[in-house]
Amino acid sequence: MSKIIGIIAGSLRKESFSKKIANGILQMAPAGFEFKIIPIDELPIYNQDFDDHHKVPASYLTFRNAVQSVNGIIFVTPEHNRSIPAALKNALDVGSRPYGKSVWTGKPGAVFSNSPGNIGGFGANHHLRQCLVFLNIPVMQQPEVYIQKSNELFDEKGDLKAGDTKEFIAKAVNAYIDWFNKNA
């Protein structure tokens, strides 16, 4: 049976470069693997009252089930003020609760950060890694993936253009699959 890898893009923006990179990765699934996007767009800001008072938004249940059903996760995060976007942090929080029922635990992960700037989302990459330690998501250490000039990577259809960055992303996906096979 195929292993399923979820891809989470940490941006709500329709034309998000992170979403476009995630879509590019979607097409790189090797034999024996299925990649699927797990959207975070519809998640209200986490409020513990939802869980405590049986008023859990349907979008929380959909999201938690989607994460639960995958074997591993690739995070494609942009950088907001040298950290991860609030929308991505919110998705991590939603998946981590109710207490004791986190859906993240033990799913091998990878962090791909990106930015139109030159630093490739370094700050977001490492802030995300801090959260993933606590959530008990083992994360691929190498290669580190900092994708710069994200605004220059796509053709008019929004697909990744052939070139060094696309090749680098494909190599990083392969490295993740190798690492996943050793760690899952």
Which positions lie near ligand FNR, rule CB under 6 A? 11, 13, 16-18, 78-82, 115-117, 119, 121
Choice between 17 and 179, CB closer to ligand FNR: 17
Q: In sequence order, what are the residues at sequence separation of 6 or more whose Cβ sits closer than 8 angstroms to the Cβ of residue 15?
A: 158
- CA angle, residues 177, 180, 184, in degrees to nearest 5: 150
Choice between 103 and 172, CB closer to ligand FNR: 172
Cα–Cα distance measured from residue 106 to residue 72, given in angstroms and rounded to the nearest whole number: 9
Q: Which of 1, 75, 58 is nearest to 33 (CA)?
A: 1
**In the complex, minimum distance from the CB of residue 159 to ligand FNR, in angstroms, rounded to a whole number:** 15
Choice between 106 and 116, CB closer to ligand FNR: 116
Q: Which of 101, 153, 146 is nearest to 128 (CA)?
A: 146
Residue where the block lists tokens 């986490």: 46
Choice between 102 and 115, CB closer to ligand FNR: 115
**In the complex, minimum distance from the CB of residue 60 to ligand FNR, in angstroms, rounded to a whole number:** 23
**In the complex, minimum distance from the CB of residue 67 to ligand FNR, in angstroms, rounded to a whole number:** 20
